[in-house]
Amino acid sequence: MLELTRWHRIQRRLMPRGLVPWLSDTGSLTRRLKRYNQIDFSVQVLGNSWIKPLTDESLALKLSLSELSYQREVLLMDGQNANVYARTVVPRATYMTLQQRFNRLGNKPLGEVLFTDPTVVRGPIEIACLKPGQWLYEMALLEEAERPEVLWGRRSQFYLGGKPLLVNEIFLPALSRCW
């Protein structure tokens, strides 16, 4: 598998036209999906664990490559269809300070925490075109039958009380049929 995903600042000319509003929106993806969904928005939790982040995630968060972090993986659903695979990486210091917030999430969207807290600051959005063999591409499609040539994703660092966390959002084929 390819080691690093190439993340870039938003460059509209490189992105599929219909996906530009999704990738560049600085608001809550949860709110946008709730407006967009045909059936019912829900969060399917795939897992929570303490593991080493991907190399590019560690570098973005300025963590040691051997440092463990708390990671949450979910699918943002429209009925039975997964629209987005989301992976959140929370450094140990952030988790220990805000442990109760993360422990209470359950199947609630993280966006509800991030976009209802006026103290939260969002860093710049980065985008990536993911290809077969890249870890995020493979994880995003683990439960999907369709395997497109590429997937598009975005990521941002958020700061809660000055403490960072990284949110990756990978847009899946069910959502891409509408652009």
| Structural domain contains residue 165 | yes
pTM: 0.93
Task: Express each pLDDT in 156-169 by its tens digit.
Answer: 999 998 999 999 99
| Structural domain contains residue 164 | yes
Task: Express each pLDDT in 21-56 by its tens digit.
Answer: 899 999 999 989 988 887 889 999 999 999 999 999
Structure tokens at 107: 């199947």
Measure Cα distances from 67 to 61, 157, 162 in Å: 11, 18, 20
User: With contact defined as beta carbons under 8 Å apart, do 150 and 19 qualify?
Assistant: no
**Number of structural domains found in the chain:** 1
| Structural domain contains residue 3 | no
pLDDT class for 101, splitting at 50, 70, 90?
confident
pLDDT class for 77, splitting at 50, 70, 90?
very high
CATH number of the domain where residue 23 is located = 3.40.1410.10
Does position 2 have pLDDT exceeding 60, yes or no?
no
Instruction: Give the integer Cα–Cα distance in Å for 22 and 153.
Output: 10
Tell me the residue type at 90: V
User: With contact defined as beta carbons under 8 Å apart, do 150 and 129 qualify?
Assistant: yes
| Structural domain contains residue 2 | no
| Structural domain contains residue 36 | yes
Helix (H) or strand (E) holding 156, with range, is: strand 151-160
Structure tokens at 116: 């209802």
| Structural domain contains residue 1 | no
| Structural domain contains residue 77 | yes
Does position 176 have pLDDT exceeding 70, yes or no?
no
| Structural domain contains residue 49 | yes
Structure tokens at 137: 């591409």
Q: Among 52, 85, 89, which residue's Cα sits nearest to residue 170? A: 85
Domain interval for residue 37: 8-176
Does position 3 have pLDDT exceeding 80, yes or no?
no
Quote the percentage of the chain above a pLDDT of 90: 62
